[in-house]
Structure 1
Amino acid sequence: MASPLRFRRSTERWTDDRIERDIYEPLDGKFGAQLLTPHYVGPSGYRTRRIEMGNGDLALFAWSDDEAFWLGNTETPSALWRTEKYTFDEIPYQVARWAQRELLADLQVEDPWLAEYDHLSWFFLPVLFSKDGSDSSRKFFREHAMGFPDAARDEALSFYDRFLSTGVLDDHRYEMASKLGTSPQVDPVRMASAMSEFTGAKVLTDAGYEVTPEIEVTTGHSLDFQATPEEGNGSEAPLVEITRPRPPTRRHADTPTAAVRETAETKTSGQLQKHGGGAVLFVDCSGFRDDEWAAVRGEQPSVRHRPAVVFRARPSGRIEGYREGALPLDLGGAIDWV
């Protein structure tokens, strides 16, 4: 399975002749390719080329007197095999901006319903144009409402676009976008679980906390977030781990409350138990239908971990839930307690 889209950087000398010989001709021989002028003028000091393959793959190439950058969701030519890979944030801004404009223009033609959500489509570009995950990620957004049941596609896209437009996760874009995965098959359960991390981040930021993802702990694994108060410091920043129960219609548990208990128990008897306590457990029930959440809301089952928050978000932005134990977070501005 290929990883999310990244650049390769070369410090060798490149010319038109070499690009045609070492980049274009191998791709043309294998896939059938066209060497084209890009949609947009390249960054100052760089020359650019666009290569479109007969199988739908794409590659972009930008080069100057000192360096060259390759970005492609196709087979990498052997001349670039020994080059290092870099994310969009790790290369010169003007090169990254040019490449992203190219990709977003393609998305506007291929999937205009997705491209209209500017920040969401920009944020997930490394996955939306990845070699293996392009089709599956777009299908998840299109047909599974990003994990919301009984919701229209555009409602779900708007929910996450509004949150991502705040920019609070921009510094962690590649790390967070990559959580969606690049499998060629759509896995609605796993992909919805990945979106729960975005929902959890929304809860924390709406409550006024700065979130930092993937916090390594002494047990050798990572917890999802550290939540730092706006005027606090690291010693006052609780760790948060998020889990997402599968609704009873999609698992062996025969009731919504049993689904909540079982999922929380799996998390607390494993990762959180090894951590030794202290972390806040978020149980995201956003995948539950109205009737399933009503059962959980009415019974408020214990999740055998304290502190914990059990909540459900809707694309409208309304989030309601209940808590267990002494919560080291003030979430009153983000969750309607029931």
Structure 2
Amino acid sequence: MARPLRFRRSTERWHLDRVRQQLLSSLDQNIGAEMGTPHYRPPNGWEGVRFDMDNDDIALFVWNDEEAYWLGNTETPSALWRTNKFEWEQVPYPIARWAQRELLADLQVQEPWLAKYPHVSWFFLPVLMSKDGRESTRKFFRDYACGFPDADRDDALSYLESVLHPGTLDDYRHEMAGKLGTSHQVDRTRMASAISEFAAAKILTDAGYDVTPEIEVTTGHFLDYRAKAPDGTNVLVEVTRPRSPSRRSANTPVAAVRDTAQVKTSGQLANHGGGVVMFVDCSNFLDDQWAAVRGEQPNVRHKPAVVYRVRPDGHVEGYQKGDVPLDLDGVVEWV
């Protein structure tokens, strides 16, 4: 799977004639391209251009006397093939900010419905404008309501906006945004599972915990979160999301919860020496499916565990199994 949009850095000397000869010429010959003035002025001390391709790809190039940066969701000209790639946080802030403003302007023209959700647009910009994933990620947000099966798109995006607004995950933007993936096809199961990790972060932070994602443990696995309480206590959390029964072999909601949790327990958590809280997110269950789980409250073959369902209005309903070392009262309505 391709990665989210990243920069390339060149340490060679560039000037406008060389840009025309080695970048524009290559792009125009292969896919058709025009070079023009960016929407926004490049940072002081830098020169910059943008390329608009006939197939709707775009690219930005900015340079000064010492270095140059390329960012694009198109083919890379051969003159830049041997350059190193850098994430957004690894390039000078003025360059990242300029490129971000430029791409956000394009995104809002292409997908005006996203303009109401500035945090969603900014956070997921590296995938919403990526080479391979821009169509699939936009379609997931636009047509599949972020994985909520019976929700309005705007309600679902408003919820995701509320998750991102506090900035809790800003430092992990590239890593977390990339969980949506950048494949051509919409993988609803995988993408909805990614949204479950964002929902879990909101539950934990609303309960007063500081969260750090992607924690490597001694078994060589990575767990989804470390939740740090105000008193300094740390708790590891792993999130799993059962598929709706109508989309899997399990023929009941209760079986879906049990089977999914068992896969997680016998796989990723099998060799871990305990101490991990498993979050089982049933947010893709319809009302009647969740009612069956809520009524029976099945064991999930791992303790401690929290089984819950998030609604786009922010309401969370769930139950616990085992001695959960997290205080989620006031955030989760226990049933």
Shared fold (TM-score, shorter chain, > 0.5): yes
The CA deviation string for residues 193-212 of structure 1, in whole angstroms up to 9 with x for no partner, is 11111011111111111111
Q: Normalized against structure 2, the TM-score is what?
A: 0.99
Partners in 1 of 2:168 and 2:93 — Cα distance?
19
1:116 is displaced (CA, Å) by 2.0
Partners in 1 of 2:268 and 2:6 — Cα distance?
31
1:111 is displaced (CA, Å) by 0.3
- Counterpart of 2:331, as a letter, is A
Aligned: 1:30 with 2:30: yes
Aligned: 1:186 with 2:186: yes
Aligned: 1:7 with 2:4: no
1:192 is displaced (CA, Å) by 0.4
Answer yes or no: is the 8 Å Cα contact 1:229–1:237 preserved in 2.
yes
Partners in 2 of 1:321 and 1:3 — Cα distance?
35
Q: Which residue of 2 aligns with 1:272?
A: 269
Counting only pairs closer than 5 Å after superposition, residues 1-338 of structure 1 correspond to structure 2 as 1-232=1-232, 236-338=233-335
Gaps of 5+ in 2: none
Q: Normalized against structure 1, the TM-score is what?
A: 0.98
Partners in 1 of 2:95 and 2:191 — Cα distance?
30
Partners in 1 of 2:57 and 2:20 — Cα distance?
17
1:231 is displaced (CA, Å) by 3.7
Q: 1:67 to 1:231 in 2, by over 3 A?
A: farther
1:87 is displaced (CA, Å) by 1.1
- Counterpart of 2:251, as a letter, is D
The CA deviation string for residues 236-270 of structure 1, in whole angstroms up to 9 with x for no partner, is 21110000000111111111111000000111111
Partners in 2 of 1:39 and 1:84 — Cα distance?
26
Q: RMSD between aligned alpha carbons? A: 0.8
Partners in 2 of 1:25 and 1:162 — Cα distance?
44
Answer yes or no: is the 8 Å Cα contact 1:104–1:115 preserved in 2.
no
User: 4+ residue runs of structure 1 moved beyond 6 angstroms?
Assistant: none
Task: Percent identity, please.
Answer: 65
Partners in 1 of 2:221 and 2:2 — Cα distance?
23
The CA deviation string for residues 122-155 of structure 1, in whole angstroms up to 9 with x for no partner, is 0000100110000000000011000001100000
Partners in 2 of 1:25 and 1:256 — Cα distance?
57
- Counterpart of 2:57, as a letter, is D
Answer yes or no: is the 8 Å Cα contact 1:63–1:69 preserved in 2.
yes
The CA deviation string for residues 150-199 of structure 1, in whole angstroms up to 9 with x for no partner, is 10000000001011011000000000000000010011111101111101
Partners in 1 of 2:86 and 2:22 — Cα distance?
21
Answer yes or no: is the 8 Å Cα contact 1:146–1:192 preserved in 2.
yes
The CA deviation string for residues 37-59 of structure 1, in whole angstroms up to 9 with x for no partner, is 00011111111100010011110
Partners in 2 of 1:24 and 1:237 — Cα distance?
52
1:221 is displaced (CA, Å) by 1.2
Partners in 2 of 1:184 and 1:69 — Cα distance?
26
- Counterpart of 1:329, as a letter, is L
Partners in 1 of 2:325 and 2:12 — Cα distance?
53
- Counterpart of 1:337, as a letter, is W
Partners in 2 of 1:291 and 1:45 — Cα distance?
61
Equivalent residue pairs, number: 335
- Counterpart of 1:292, as a letter, is Q
Partners in 2 of 1:71 and 1:106 — Cα distance?
14
- Counterpart of 2:19, as a letter, is I
Q: 1:241 to 1:54 in 2, by over 3 A?
A: same
